[in-house]
Structure 1
Amino acid sequence: MKIKVKSWTMAAYWAWDVEKADVCGICQVEFDGCCPDCTMPGDDCPLIWGECTHVFHLHCLMNWFRKSTKGEHCPMDRSVWKTAAAPI
């Protein structure tokens, strides 16, 4: 038995993934915690903001730059990295 489809409608669902908004884009650990290189969260594991508005653990970003073969670019959008002024 064959069925002939005359028409069909496709639907999609889209939403922001809000739960992942407060994690480092490199190590995927929450900013309240610490990066894989640190053992204690807090001042020993600082965050760094880029002018592109992306935020990372400082240690994760430094490791990213060390391993990069194309210079210092943002891991999220590949723009040239420029550190933003510290938030107040």
Structure 2
Amino acid sequence: MKLTIKNWTGVATWRWVANDDNCGICRMPFDGCCPDCKLPGDDCPLVWGQCSHCFHMHCIVKWLQSQPVNQQCPMCRQPWKFNNK
């Protein structure tokens, strides 16, 4: 028996590669988006600190703005520095 494929549709998925499944600030999954965004992806990127903790970019920026004196990682309390991978 021979089969002829008349139509084929490729499907792909994407996932952020992070050290956790959820943002430590908003607790939303990384494959979703933060509460400020409507769609996941490039408009809601992840950022890592030098301490290796990962957050939605919008979440950590808000967190740092709320901590004007001691800008620390919300998970480990080390001074927050963006990791330039």
TM-score interval (norm. to shorter): 0.7 to 0.9
Counterpart of 1:64?
63
Hey, what's the Cα distance between the residues in 2 that align with 1:84 and 1:64?
Answer: 17
AA aligned to 2:58 is: H
Hey, what's the Cα distance between the residues in 2 that align with 1:85 and 1:68?
Answer: 22
List alignment gaps of at least 5 residues for structure 1.
1-20
CA RMSD of superposed structures (Å): 1.1
SS in 2 for 1:65: helix
Counterpart of 2:50?
51
AA aligned to 1:49 is: W
Hey, what's the Cα distance between the residues in 2 that align with 1:29 and 1:73?
Answer: 20
Counterpart of 1:22?
21
SS in 1 for 2:47: strand
Deviation at 1:70, TM superposition (A): 3.2
Deviation at 1:67, TM superposition (A): 1.1
Hey, what's the Cα distance between the residues in 2 that align with 1:69 and 1:84?
Answer: 20
Rg bigger for which structure? Answer: 1
Counterpart of 2:14?
none
SS in 2 for 1:31: coil
Structure 1 length normalisation: TM-score?
A: 0.70
Deviation at 1:85, TM superposition (A): 2.3
